[in-house]
Amino acid sequence: MAVLRVSGSSLAERLASLLSLPEARRAALRTLEWDGFRERALVLFFPGPNSYTGEDLVEFQVHGNPLLARRLLSHLGALGVRQAEPGEFTRRALLHGKQGLLEVEALRDLVAAETDTQIRLAQARAGAQPAWIHLARTTLAPWMARAEAAVDYGEEEGIILDHKDLKENLAALRARFHVEQTRSRAARHLREGLRLGIVGRPNAGKSTLFNALAGEDRAIVTDLPGTTRDVLEVRCEWRGLPLRLFDTAGLRDSEDRVEQLGVARVGAVLEGADLVLHLTPIGEGPDGLLETTLAPFRGKVLEVRTFADRGEAAGVAIAAHQGDLDALEAALKERLLGGLAPDACLGALATGRQLELLDDLAHQLDLLLALEEGCPPEVSASLLQGAWAQLARLTGEDRADSALDALFSGFCLGK
């Protein structure tokens, strides 16, 4: 089927020459006739404001021939209906207060999600506003009122802002923010997919690990050193972790021109990775890469010992060819998710915009917590207002149109 949705005011009149609209929210068959076409369509009518967009909304379900759908679209065009811009239905929903900005961002992520974890995370965010936002509002509001009162009437009425009390209250909120910051950083990684580069000397077991994580035989594995020559990329989900994996050519000095080119490409992988897995087989000495190629990326290198079936080693040891990867799973969750399980991130904020505002908000609270006893109430009042304004920006109650343009350009037509 093809579904065509029309949103706007007074749709009953505008579409009168094509059909009589059915009863609200009840599917009905209508025969649509235009330009010599005759199509039986299932029609739904959602009168505003009780619709997705908050305006009158009509949905036509017709046979799924793209040409037929285009012909109906152009006829609707002749009736004064224009093609929606990307995300325009949702944008109208937002403008009419049917959806909050956080929900809309979650919806965009839901549509774009590529793995089970990403779907679950987006669904959790689309459902309800995070509880901590409510907590922040109810904590800040009375203190804003008190600070304003102290500014306006302090001297005449003897109203003083009790900083000790204020700080106690805010310290609890700040602790909650800290938890949310940790959860949100992890959620952001999961939302974007963790970019893992796999590097090491030839025959270190890179492609074997790559295949094991991807769950399919994507890279060629042989016991000949120098098997992989190009960078291979795969997207997958492994044990709840959305991954973008990069297998690379084994790093060594080689006379082979193709291999040299492959080695040269490893640099881009190192630059772009969230984490670089540096593989060294158990029983073999260091390859010296940490002091050379990997030196600029040390902060994001995770040392992994391969061939764990052949011996013992401290740290993260794996035997990828037999699926023995638990140590790697634990290390990834520790390094990239702050030790959290993916499910612990459900409901956490996750986009760059959201994280930036959450960090700003936390910083604002830090400034309030650092105020000296007896500082003028004007200072606390303005910091409290700043925090309040950041909350409003986060939820979209205070919104800049340019930010909305950027958001909706990421939507598809008709959503």
Q: Provide the binding-site residues for Mg ion, judged by CB under 5 A.
A: 206-207, 227-228
CA dist., res. 41 & res. 2, Å (int): 10
| Phi-psi label, residue 105: left if phi above 0, alpha if psi -120 to 50, beta otherwise | alpha
> Contact 41/92 with Cβ under 8 angstroms?
no
The count of chain residues that interact with ligand GTP, using the rule CB under 6 A, is: 23
x-or-dash string of contact with ligand GTP, 284-313, rule CB under 6 A: ----------------------xx-x----
- Tell me how far, at minimum, the Cβ of 300 lies from ligand GTP, in Å: 20
Q: Is residue 280 a contact residue for ligand GTP (CB under 6 A)?
A: no
Q: Is residue 225 a contact residue for ligand GTP (CB under 6 A)?
A: yes
Q: Is residue 321 a contact residue for ligand GTP (CB under 6 A)?
A: yes
**Helix, strand or coil, per DSSP, at residue 247:** strand
- Minimum CB distance to Mg ion smaller for 99 or for 207: 207
x-or-dash string of contact with ligand GTP, 202-221, rule CB under 6 A: xxxxxxx------------x
Q: What are residue 59's DSSP bridge partners?
A: 5, 44
> Contact 316/288 with Cβ under 8 angstroms?
no
- Minimum CB distance to Mg ion smaller for 158 or for 323: 323
CA dist., res. 244 & res. 154, Å (int): 58
- Minimum CB distance to ligand GTP smaller for 19 or for 304: 304
The binder of 320, among ligand GTP, Mg ion, none, by C-beta within 5 to 8 A per type, is ligand GTP
The binder of 97, among Mg ion, ligand GTP, none, by C-beta within 5 to 8 A per type, is none
Of 35, 223, 312, 372, the one binding ligand GTP by CB under 6 A: 223
CA dist., res. 42 & res. 26, Å (int): 10
Q: Is residue 22 a contact residue for ligand GTP (CB under 6 A)?
A: no
- Minimum CB distance to ligand GTP smaller for 223 or for 373: 223
Enumerate residues 232-251 that contact ligand GTP by CB under 6 A.
249-250
CA 41 to chain centre: 37
Q: Is residue 262 a contact residue for ligand GTP (CB under 6 A)?
A: no
On the 0-12 / 13-18 / 19+ scale of CB atoms within 10 A, 335 is: middle
On the 0-12 / 13-18 / 19+ scale of CB atoms within 10 A, 95 is: middle
Of 81, 104, 319, 358, the one binding ligand GTP by CB under 6 A: 319
User: Cβ contacts of residue 2 below 8 Å, gap of 6+?
Assistant: 61, 62, 63, 64, 65, 66, 68, 69
Binding residues for ligand GTP, rule: CB under 6 A, are 200, 202-208, 221-223, 225-228, 249-250, 306-307, 309, 319-321
